[in-house]
Structure 1
């Protein structure tokens, strides 16, 4: 395992916060030239770092501690009644694991999703270059989970990284017209089950921000662990 003290880290200047209005954010990046092996990436994830394309980063905002890393201890998770209904609604779906790539089918689904769900966000307008740099490029052990219906139509795709102690859910996008399926929630529930099947203890869900409405869904999965004062705390 690489000694983290041997890795260079770089902090960005202040920039617009993606999560909270009228806030300035700073980000701490791992040296993009460093070779980060799986064990080191796993260690960084334990410390609250995330990956976006080739970049491994963590919020570094001084006094603001709003971004809290969260993960699900998969063997302890128990679905709620609502989550059981979501599982039942999607029993017909088949999941296939493929290597990260850009193709027309993936991009068209991604484009529809961004335009429908995130037209007011930093990811709009979508582009193939954005898809590649965000979801395909990178040096970690990453996979695409395809979710297909009985007609073999792709209706969701989840991007995840393999860590030594779990999966890190990087991003999920899905068919907006299939909103009754709650595909975003189903993708998380499926990945929890996949972690259990692979005997991986955790599913990392990135950051939860209390005052960001779009982040509220993460607390629906209980129990959940939060990284508070550099220690993982179980929240039931």
Structure 2
């Protein structure tokens, strides 16, 4: 007789598809569903093994001939910004970020669309509708937050109603040992602000204030220029065959 354990996650393997990071390579992913009361604890456990979340799915690369994707997490308590990072923080002092429950809005989607059309017009997310965006934000059974960055108004210190124009958004999960940045986007016409770097710096500080030791940044892909920015935030650890190891560069 076969005994079924409904609490035990089942894992599946995708078919090969073109790699979005390395030309000429194909990718496969192993994934499982994050559902029910155990979803937060399962995500905590799987994140230790290099999994990422997308809606109610946790996945990680399972490519047959390539190991270029490496899970990265920043050591929050030891992190010290470089001089250029401090300049980025100064450049964005006119912004205020508020972390709230993950609720989508038409204003967010308009910014999301501008970002995709300008930065990722040929990517896999290019055709996402407003309903697809809402699912990306809302379809989660873990502790997911949305940080919205707006121009600081005259009375923003007292009331969020005084906040100005939306400039950037980060969708993030709060886990037992850290914060995981799931997806972020920003105003493409504000490239001089280095908003991607700014949001990471802000999340490092948020994780520190929450008393959490790590900021999970997803995958660094050795050989992909679009992923090189992640390697600048040190000290950091990479998930290697024997476990998490400090990256020395």
Could you say which TM-score interval applies, normalised by the shorter chain?
over 0.9
**Correspondence for 2:240:** 228
Which of the numbers 193, 198, 211 marks the counterpart of 1:199?
A: 211
Distance, in Å, in 1 between the alignment partners of 2:186 and 2:216 is 20
Matches within 5 A, 1:1-150: 6-31=8-33, 36-150=38-152
Q: Which runs of 5+ in 1 are unaligned?
A: none
Deviations 1:58-105 (A, max 9, x none): 111123111100000101111000000001111121111222122111
> TM-score if structure 1 supplies the norm length?
0.93
Deviations 1:163-210 (A, max 9, x none): 100000001111111111111110000000011111100000000101
Distance, in Å, in 1 between the alignment partners of 2:176 and 2:10 is 22
Distance, in Å, in 2 between the alignment partners of 1:125 and 1:6 is 34
Which of the numbers 192, 210, 220 marks the counterpart of 1:208?
A: 220
Aligned-pair Cα RMSD in Å: 1.7
CA contact (8 A) 1:52 1:135 kept: no
Question: Higher mean Cα deviation, 128-137 or 77-86?
Answer: 128-137
Deviations 1:93-123 (A, max 9, x none): 1111222122111110101011011112111
Which protein shows a greater Rg?
Answer: 2
SS in 2 for 1:45: helix
Extract structure 1 runs of 4+ deviating beyond 3 A.
Answer: 31-36
CA contact (8 A) 2:34 2:43 kept: no
SS in 1 for 2:125: coil
Identify if the C-alpha distance between structure 1 residues 113 and 167 changes in structure 2 by more than 3 Å, giving closer, same or farther. Answer: same
> TM-score if structure 2 supplies the norm length?
0.89
CA contact (8 A) 1:114 1:126 kept: no
CA contact (8 A) 1:115 1:126 kept: no
Distance, in Å, in 1 between the alignment partners of 2:222 and 2:38 is 31
